[in-house]
Chain A
Amino acid sequence: MSAEIEHVNAEVKKYLLVFIGLLFLTMVTVAASYLHLPLAMAVLLALVIATIKGSLVVCYFMHMISEKRLIYLVLGFTVTFFAAVLLLPMVNHHDIIRGAEVVH
C-alpha cells in the first residue's frame, strides 16, 4: 500500500469521527434550546457550539489544518474584515431607531 493511500485511509477515519461529532453537537444545540436559558446565555451557548462545529468542518472537511501559508494569509484578511462587518452595528448601537422591526 502506497504512503498516499495509507494517508487517505487515515483521513477517512477522521472524517467519520468529525461527522459523528457534528451530528452529536447538532443534537446538543437543539436540546440546549429547550432549557429556556436567559437570552444572553442561550446566544452564547448556541454560538459556541456553532463555532466548534464550524471549526470541525473547516479544519477537517476543508483541510484547513494542513493548508498552505498563502491561504492562511487570505483567510486572515477575510476574518479581520468579517469581524469588522459584524462589529459595525455595535459601534453605532446608540443610533439604532428602536422598534424598527415591524413593517406591517
Chain B
Amino acid sequence: MSSEYMPYTVETRPDTGLYNARLGIWLFLASEVMLFGALFSTYILLRVGAEPGHWPQGASILNVPIGTFNTAILIASSMTMVMSWASLKLKNFGKYKLYMGLTILFALVFLGMKYIEYSQKFEHHLFPSHSTYLAIYFTLTGLHALHIIGGVIVNGYFWGPGSRMWQTDPGRFTNRIEVAGLYWHFVDLVWIFLFPVLYLL
C-alpha cells in the first residue's frame, strides 16, 4: 500500500503559521484544561462547603515524601522529554533514544509509587467511598494516572517501532515528538497543581 502525501505535517500552513498537529494538540489540550478545570472546581465546591474543621489536611492522610518524590520525578521526565525533542533538532538520534527512554522510565517510576500509595490506602480501608476528600483525591489522581499511562503508551511507541520514521521522514518525526512533548508537559503541569492542593493544604 503506497502512502499518500499528507500536507502540513512538516511545513507550516500559510493561514495558521503552524503545522497541523501542533494546532491539533493545543485544541486537545484546551479540552483537557476544561476537563481538569471542572474537577478542580468540584474540589473547591466540596472544600468550601465542608463544615469548618471537617476537611482533612492532606498530609494527615497522604504520604508527603512520596508525593514530593513523584513531583520531582515528573519534573525530571518533563526535562528529559524536552531534551529528547532537542536531541532530534540537533540530529542526534542516539541521545533522543536515551532521553525518551528515561522519560518512559520516570513515568513508570511515578506509576509504581502511585501504586504503592493506593495500596497503602486500600490496606487501611481508605476507599473513595470513605469520605468526600478521598473521593475527589482518587478521582483527580486516578484520572491523572490514566493520562500518564496514555503518555507512556504513546512515548513507548515513539521510542520503539514509531522511531523508524526518523530514517524516512525526520522532520515529521521531530514534530511528532514535539506534539507528544506538549501533551507530556501538560500532564506535568496538572500534577504541579494537584500536589499542593491534595497533599499540602
Binding site for B on A (CB under 8 A): 4-5, 8-9, 11-12, 15-16, 18-19, 22-23, 26, 29-30, 33, 39, 42-43, 46-47, 49-50, 53-54, 57-58, 61-62, 68-71, 74-75, 77-78, 81-82, 85-86, 88-90, 93, 96-104
A96 vs B186: C-alpha distance when bound (angstroms) = 32
The answer to whether B23 has its CB under 8 Å from any CB of chain A is yes
* Interface secondary structure of A, over-half rule: helix
Total contacts A-B at CB 8 Å: 153
Note all chain A residues with C-beta closer than 8 A to B46: 100-101
> Which 5 residue pairs are nearest across A and B when measured between Cβ atoms?
A96-B49, A89-B45, A46-B196, A101-B50, A33-B200
14 further A-B pairs in the complex, CB-CB below 8 A; given A26-B195, A98-B49, A103-B131: A15-B86, A30-B200, A50-B196, A69-B17, A74-B26, A74-B27, A86-B37, A89-B41, A90-B44, A96-B49, A99-B51, A102-B54, A103-B132, A104-B131
Binds A, one of B70-78, B111-119, B137-145, B157-165: B70-78
Q: In which size bucket is the chain B interface?
A: 35 or more
B5 close to A (CB within 8 Å): no
Interface pair A57/B189, CB less than 8 Å apart: yes
CA distance A47 to B43 in the complex (A): 14
Q: Are B48 and A93 in contact (CB under 8 A)?
A: yes
Chain A residues within 8 Å of B75, by CB: 19, 22-23, 26
Distance A43 CA – B41 CA, assembled complex (angstroms): 15
The answer, yes or no, to whether B135 is at the interface (CB within 8 Å) is: yes
Determine if A100 and B40 form an interchain contact, defined as CB atoms under 8 angstroms apart.
Answer: no
Residues from chain B with a CB closer than 8 A to the CB of A96 are 45, 48-49
Q: Which residue of B lies closest to A19 (CB)?
A: B79
Contact of A100 among B49, B72, B129 (CB under 8 A): B49
With a cutoff of 8 Å between Cβ atoms, the chain B residues found around residue A23 in the complex are 72, 75
Question: Does B120 touch A at the CB level, under 8 Å?
Answer: no
| Max chain B C-beta neighbours (<10 A), residue from A53, A54, A88, A93 | A53
Establish whether residues A26 and B44, one from each chain, have CB atoms under 8 Å apart when the complex forms. Answer: no
B154 within 8 Å of A (CB atoms): no
Contact with A along B74-102 (1 / 0, CB 8 A): 01101101110010011000000000000
Say whether B196 contacts A47, CB under 8 Å: yes
Chain A contacts for B33, CB-based, 8 A: 78, 82
Q: Is the CB of A71 within 8 A of B68?
A: no
Judged by a CB distance under 8 angstroms, whether B105 is at the interface is no
Verify A43–B201 contact, CB threshold 8 A. yes
> Is A89 within 8 A of B182, CB to CB?
no
Cβ A30 vs Cβ B72 within 8 A: no
Pair B49/A85 contact, Cβ less than 8 Å: no
Which residue from chain B places its CB closest to the CB of A81 in the assembled complex? B34
